[in-house]
Amino acid sequence: MKLPQILAIVAVAVSLPITLSASDWPHWRGPNYDGSAPDGESYPAKFSKTENVKWVATLPGTGASTPIVSGNSVFVTSIDESADAIMAISIDRESGEVRWQRKLGDGVRKDDRSDFAGPSAVTDGERVIFFTGNGDLAAYGFGGDEVWKRNLQDDYGEFAFGWTFSTSPLLYDGLLYMQVLQRDVAVDGRGFTDRENESYLLALDPATGEEKWKVLRPTEAQMESREAFTSPIVATHNGKTELLVVGGDFLTGHDPATGKELWRWGTWNPGHGEKFWRLVPSPVYGDGIILACAPKKQPVYAIRAGGSGKLGPDAIAWTSEETKDVTADVPTPLYYRDRFYILNEGRKILNCVEPKTGKVIWSEPLDAKVKLEASPTGADGKVYLMSHLGEVFVVAAGDEFKLLNTTTLGESQSINIRASVVPAQGNLFIRTDDKVYCIGE
């Protein structure tokens, strides 16, 4: 091959956008938006603070955001008390070296239960986008160059939430999605006091941050029940892809291109009489079923995908009303290898459930000292879970319960570890308080 031909090929390769690998973890619920990693990589079951640790990266502070992984980069957010800021951080996947840190915005918290480093980043392999509970939204190139930055509170109004707002951004088919499901009236002085606070969905251009569309999401829910700390996901059923949103007493499906509401199901709160049922678990899709987890020890509702308009009782495939252990107030369920794994964080019970029928295949306690609020993830025939203390549990995926490993990566003072265990590129990335562990055999 002649030199001009080689140079031409190189020029074309350089001009092409970076693409995501099947082994990447580009979204907080993974490449499938359901908490699972595709088959093809091996992930360890046995590890500890001293066994099978490839590296440990130290962060400036704490945060609940789950790491995401793309190529040779790991992205995560952290508070930095000394700078009174949330930091966007890039870590070298192979060495654990912190490549760069960027200040996202001022302030680290507004209450003592959480901080603004709760939302997880998202990437399309070309740029990485970070969001904070204070409304800061920014895109960076993989080298750390700022592409754009804006603040949703500055642009659309102060968030009307009783607690610290958290939702993770979503990238799909060239659009960046954000959701803000909030109270209609100000709470503790936050939000508009002279007019109604609207709940809405946003689609932005990931290259520029410019708004492509904004649609309102109405609800009859009251007070705190309007608040959702969930994240939107996409799901494809019978060849049709929809944007799924849960919160404000409803589960809704939207056209990803326009945001138009296609269908609505509700509610776990009949008559909207309960005023303090904020929602935390995001929706999850699997085998034709969409799960909506009602809050505060209430049942899980399985809704048949493919509906349109206002859905009635016949859209419900099953509920867990008669099985009190099958509930999830905080963790988002996992769909993996034709099963839902639903974590009851308060009673520390993991449930393996058949998607179409709701049959509980097994329901087993985990010997954790504290709650497990991190959402479970699945890879290589294993389910990974973690408690507030950083206790990690590895359970065999399948119809027979088997505990493969238990270890603790947190410290004695750990009380609020909420990040999910991330399987990517043949390694586990586990974020505790102010550390990220890379686990690999």
Measured distance CA(392)–CA(220) in Å, rounded: 40
First to last CA, the chain: 41
Does the 22-439 domain belong in CATH 2.130.10.10? Answer: yes
Q: Which pTM value belongs to this model?
A: 0.94
Rounded (5°) CA angle 78-84-88: 30
Domain ranges of the chain: 22-439
pLDDT at 8: 37
Non-local (6+) Cβ contacts of 187 within 8 A are 160, 161, 162
Q: For residue 361, with 0-12 CB atoms within 10 Å meaning exposed, 13-18 middle and 19 or more buried, which class applies?
A: middle
Looking at the chain, how many residues does it have?
441
The answer to whether the Cα torsion of 157, 161, 167, 172 is positive or negative is negative
Measured distance CA(342)–CA(331) in Å, rounded: 8
Measured distance CA(420)–CA(374) in Å, rounded: 5
pLDDT at 19: 65
- Residues 61/89, Cβ–Cβ less than 8 Å: no
pLDDT at 418: 95
Short-list 332, 176, 190, CA closest to 247: 332
DSSP string, 165-208: -----EEETTEEEEEE---SS-BTTBS-SSSPPPPEEEEE-TTT
Q: What is the pLDDT of residues 218-230, one digit of tens each?
A: 999 999 999 999 9
Residue stretches of the chain with pLDDT short of 50: 1-17
Short-list 395, 424, 394, CA closest to 409: 394
At 259, which amino acid appears?
A: G
Short-list 351, 346, 207, CA closest to 291: 351
DSSP string, 21-59: -TT-B-STTTTTTSSB--TT----S---SSSSEEEEEEP
DSSP 3-state of 127:
strand
Measured distance CA(342)–CA(239) in Å, rounded: 26
Q: What is the pLDDT of residues 64-89, one digit of tens each?
A: 999 999 999 999 999 999 999 999 99
For residue 41, what are its two tokens?
């990589």
- Residues 422/68, Cβ–Cβ less than 8 Å: yes
pLDDT at 112: 74
Tally of CA atoms within 13 A in the half-sphere of 34 that contains its CB: 23
At 391, which amino acid appears?
A: E
pLDDT at 18: 52
